[in-house]
Amino acid sequence: MRKLCVFESVSVDGFFTDSNDDVNWAHAGREDAEFASWVGANASSGRELLFGRKTYQMMESYWPSPMAAEQMPEVAKGMNAAKKYVISRTIHPTWKNTTLLDGDPVGAVQKLKKTNGSNITVLGSGCVAALLAEAGLVDEYLFVIIPIALGSGRTLFPQRNKLRLIDARSFRCGNVAVTYAV
């Protein structure tokens, strides 16, 4: 069975969006070549990607663009080549290599995990990640902890969850990447 990993940028106080549903704080940091290289390697990992509608539309509007190819060529190449799934009842995806999952999201992901293929990463998409976690479908979390305290916002964990640390890595820019198993 394929693993389902959630990749999420979070503040040091555990929020994936601020109280206004803004995520710009997660991308407003010092330049760090080592972190950029790590992000590029992650984007080229061969994992399949799963999005909720909001994150998908944000990604679809940026990664296929000439600006993305110029600013982050390695990441853009990986994102555009990756097999992608989007959970939505309202959109028709146009980004290449994207499959629409428009029925029951939990049932669709249960079926997807049972098929052959690469592991699947929920990228951002905090509401989808929380829904799949509640259904017991998440196997790992990869958090990029951004050195900012938001004070309030939305969290992936409305209830207590026991996690086991698998890996941790810090970067000069202050970001810390941690991977936990459920």
What would the pLDDT profile of 52-80 be if each residue is shown by its tens digit? 999 999 999 999 999 999 988 888 888 99
CATH number for the domain that contains residue 177? 3.40.430.10
Average pLDDT for residues 152-162, to the nearest whole number?
81
Q: How many CA atoms lie within 13 A of 72 on its CB side?
A: 23
Question: For residue 147, what are its two tokens?
Answer: 């050195």
Q: How many domains does the chain have?
A: 1
Q: What is the pLDDT of residue 23?
A: 81
Choose between 21 and 146: higher pLDDT: 146
Closest among 145, 131, 150, 147 to 179, alpha carbons compared: 145
Phi-psi region at 173: left, alpha or beta (left = phi > 0; alpha = psi -120 to 50): alpha
Domain residues for the domain of 34 are 4-181
How many whole angstroms separate alpha carbon 51 and alpha carbon 69?
21
How many whole angstroms separate alpha carbon 131 and alpha carbon 137?
9
**180 φ, ψ (degrees, to nearest 5):** -125, 145
What would the pLDDT profile of 80-137 be if each residue is shown by its tens digit? 999 999 999 899 999 999 999 988 999 999 999 999 999 999 988 888 998 999 899 9
Task: Enter the pTM of the model.
Answer: 0.87
Closest among 127, 173, 120, 116 to 148, alpha carbons compared: 173
What would the pLDDT profile of 5-60 be if each residue is shown by its tens digit? 999 999 999 888 888 888 888 876 667 888 877 877 776 677 899 999 999 999 99
